[in-house]
Chain A
């Protein structure tokens, strides 16, 4: 390893290689802190060529690598792998090109999400995907996870806004997917790469689409007795043919936490709905009148429309701080991310409530209600024996509810390390085997973030590569985790 370290150091320089144990601790986990693995080293390249050179060494040495942006992911996607190195893209943080007439921006992967909007906002444009961590998360990480955010209901996910990619493949070769123009001839490899959680290579340049700011934005808060009435109002809004920019819902526990943390001045109620409409003033005004009526007729005694940008910002601050705010009301908590068809909300909510009572653990609920993306937060106290395990079990049970309702085990946080064992519950073997074929085409040696996303066999004698059921597994005497 010493020789390999020297080679890596020669590529990225002394300051670009981290190998001392105390410094490596920073990189042993991402935003999901219950998984920790020490990497052998962390390299911090400055250029695409450096990334290529590093990956070539990994390829030659058969040494796995994990690309990392800001490390804010919540599924362990940037968790180092045993005997592997971490490639941090944090220093590749330049916005390379801004093209307003074509509404395109070219960035390096380490650029912070909000900095893209910051750069284009003087001309009244913005970068639409807005994960709650947008002030610290990187575009490269967003690409890996296909990050969403509150406004993806109307504007789409990261994948909608990535037009092209420069990628270092796991053998060190450099390729380009998509481009500044649409429908480049060939397979939509950009479409496959976005959301592949670092398992297909390392993005070193990203062509993004930016969006003109709408003429106006109006945000409404409606207080309902419970999430059931709030959910019914959401259904009516959709049934009326409206597509709001965002619809968010919080239950009472989540409201209390957000209030304690940022004093968002939320009404104290059982189900809070936040509806944001944007577009031309006349259009938004006409639709906002309808939204208010719908909220009233579904039993909301209190309806407010933010009267200023400051009020609007405060409303969103409460929502975006909701995860972190749980620390105010519970020593520990698990953030879950599941998706259900929106119509299954009342039934899934009552099941979550039942599980919560049966397990003696509180669950706070924050939803992207428009698209059925649930973020149940399971609260617990690690100091009480058995509570952590109970909370993890409850959190998993919620995902099983999502699958049973016809939904998904993750809407935006990714599978990563955390949910790979759930993949086999959501997909059948042929589905997963087909995905593995794609992985094998990109990464036949399984070097790029291996052990993530897909359930891996806990059987000896398994070779990496295309998935083949182990004989013991086929016979039903072993299972994948």
Chain B
């Protein structure tokens, strides 16, 4: 027995630890290290089940023993959400990584939660298909993690969010129930749409063990353009005009910051003939603005916001606004940032979702996030803090869940009555 799995190292009752080992094998139960900490909270064990049934059984035992369980894929977004109120074990899905069925002729795929986005995309590409989603860090991010965090990028404008792409899911509930809902066909209204319920639930209702997605063909050709704007107002006018035009663009995003003029990027996909015609229409629509061909890499700009040069002084938030309020919101950010003396950079999609990076003193970051959240919530929007530096004064990750919070708590109570899964990490203390 290595030191890592000694009872004293795990801090868990040895009989229980032995039960875990009997289920998943000794080699798949490890003592947690400092690197496994979840937003500063140290768990005791890391368990890596190799089958759905194993995962469900570990959950059942943990639930019975009153342990707090943190589901984890590759941990790229483990800091999202509030710190857990308790954390006993990390339940890793990384060994549940099989691509079960790529029914390419039916444009669907069934995949286990621990598979990375990139490996899935590579498999789908062999038949000219893709999951039409561009989440952060595809080489590491897992299906289960991306679903739980509801991460989407620029492709969402055309193809929808995960909620529009997922057609089936199997989840393990805290009591060990393995439940499937949805199915393997795109069109299906039998029973409740639980795949949508668990998407974005941050693992608080159950652990997603597998998902079924509808797929899209890979584009035949793509063209990307950047359009300069003199002001946020001009950038917004461009975005609203494109959205109101007959262009069939796939993605549309705007970069804003405290020291550069706004730039908008637009992506087209299609036949050569179609792309040429759309480029002409775009140039007509842009009028006097400078239009230049952009590289494909502009569509991973979101990841650049996460390049931490000064991690203790950087905060990152996801904002959601009405698309036509884009300019007003950027003006708001600018004013608040000036007042709080923080630097800022933002990437806003035409869907109204955006990503904001702030740099400054931890107290000022909190002040800016707090002010901005109040303003956005007053305009039907939201601000979710994804990265908060350790020294930043306490700031709820989510903000208001509105008048449906009691119902959300009731749903949680039904699915996970002992609050075994990710306790305290979600909205309103769920």
Q: Do A and B bind each other?
A: yes
Interface of A toward B, CB cutoff 8 Å = 99-104, 145-146, 148, 152, 156-157, 159-160, 169, 174-177, 179-189, 191-192, 194-196, 212-215, 235, 238-239, 241-243, 279-287, 339-343, 368, 371-373, 406-415, 419, 423, 426-428, 430-435, 437-442, 453, 466
B344 at the A interface (CB under 8 A): no
Chain A residue with the shortest CB-CB distance to B325? A102
Chain A residues in 8 Å Cβ range of B193: 146, 159, 191-192, 194-196
**Within the assembled complex, what's the spacing in Å between the Cα atoms of A419 and B190?**
9
Chain B residue with the shortest CB-CB distance to A192? B197
**How many residue pairs, one in A and one in B, have C-beta atoms under 8 Å apart?**
273
B380 at the A interface (CB under 8 A): yes
Chain A residue with the shortest CB-CB distance to B384? A185
Chain B residue with the shortest CB-CB distance to A287? B271
**Within the assembled complex, what's the spacing in Å between the Cα atoms of A435 and B173?**
12
B8 at the A interface (CB under 8 A): no
Are B191 and A189 in contact, CB atoms less than 8 angstroms apart? no
**Which of A214, A242, A453 contacts B191 (CB under 8 A)?**
A453
Interface of B toward A, CB cutoff 8 Å = 103, 105-108, 128, 150, 160-161, 163-164, 171, 173, 177-181, 183-194, 196-197, 199-201, 205, 216-220, 240, 243-248, 270-271, 273-274, 276-278, 281, 318, 320-324, 351-353, 380-382, 384, 398-405, 407-408, 410-411, 413-415, 426-428
Chain A residue with the shortest CB-CB distance to B271? A286
Are B192 and A212 in contact, CB atoms less than 8 angstroms apart? no
**Within the assembled complex, what's the spacing in Å between the Cα atoms of A310 and B300?**
45
Chain A residues in 8 Å Cβ range of B185: 339-341, 371-372, 406-408, 411
**Within the assembled complex, what's the spacing in Å between the Cα atoms of A157 and B186?**
10
Are A282 and B273 in contact, CB atoms less than 8 angstroms apart? yes
Chain B residue with the shortest CB-CB distance to A426? B190
Query: Which of B160, B184, B190 is most buried by chain A, counting CB atoms within 10 A of its CB?
Result: B190
Are B398 and A185 in contact, CB atoms less than 8 angstroms apart? yes
Are A176 and B244 in contact, CB atoms less than 8 angstroms apart? no
Are B380 and A343 in contact, CB atoms less than 8 angstroms apart? no
What are 23 A-B pairs with beta-carbon distances under 8 A?
A102-B322, A159-B164, A174-B403, A175-B403, A181-B321, A183-B200, A184-B382, A185-B398, A186-B404, A186-B405, A186-B408, A186-B427, A192-B196, A214-B246, A280-B281, A339-B183, A407-B184, A413-B189, A415-B191, A419-B190, A426-B191, A432-B191, A435-B194
- In order of increasing CB-CB distance, the 7 nearest A-B pairs are A191-B196, A283-B274, A241-B217, A282-B277, A101-B324, A434-B179, A186-B401
Q: How far is the CB of A278 from chain B (nearest CB, A)?
A: 9
**Within the assembled complex, what's the spacing in Å between the Cα atoms of A212 and B240?**
12
Chain A residue with the shortest CB-CB distance to B220? A241
Are B194 and A192 in contact, CB atoms less than 8 angstroms apart? yes
Are B186 and A280 in contact, CB atoms less than 8 angstroms apart? no
Chain B residue with the shortest CB-CB distance to A279? B248
**Within the assembled complex, what's the spacing in Å between the Cα atoms of A159 and B182?**
14
Chain A residue with the shortest CB-CB distance to B380? A180
Given contacts A156-B160, A182-B352, contact A280 B189 (CB under 8 A): no
Query: Which of A160, A177, A241, A413 is most buried by chain B, counting CB atoms within 10 A of its CB?
Result: A241
**Which of B324, B381, B408, B428 contacts A189 (CB under 8 A)?**
B408
Given contacts A341-B184, A406-B185, contact A415 B190 (CB under 8 A): yes
**Within the assembled complex, what's the spacing in Å between the Cα atoms of A182 and B188?**
23
Given contacts A176-B403, A185-B399, A438-B411, contact A195 B192 (CB under 8 A): yes
Are B401 and A185 in contact, CB atoms less than 8 angstroms apart? yes
Are B403 and A188 in contact, CB atoms less than 8 angstroms apart? no
Chain A residue with the shortest CB-CB distance to B168? A408
**Within the assembled complex, what's the spacing in Å between the Cα atoms of A99 and B192?**
30
**Which of B105, B183, B321 contacts A342 (CB under 8 A)?**
B105
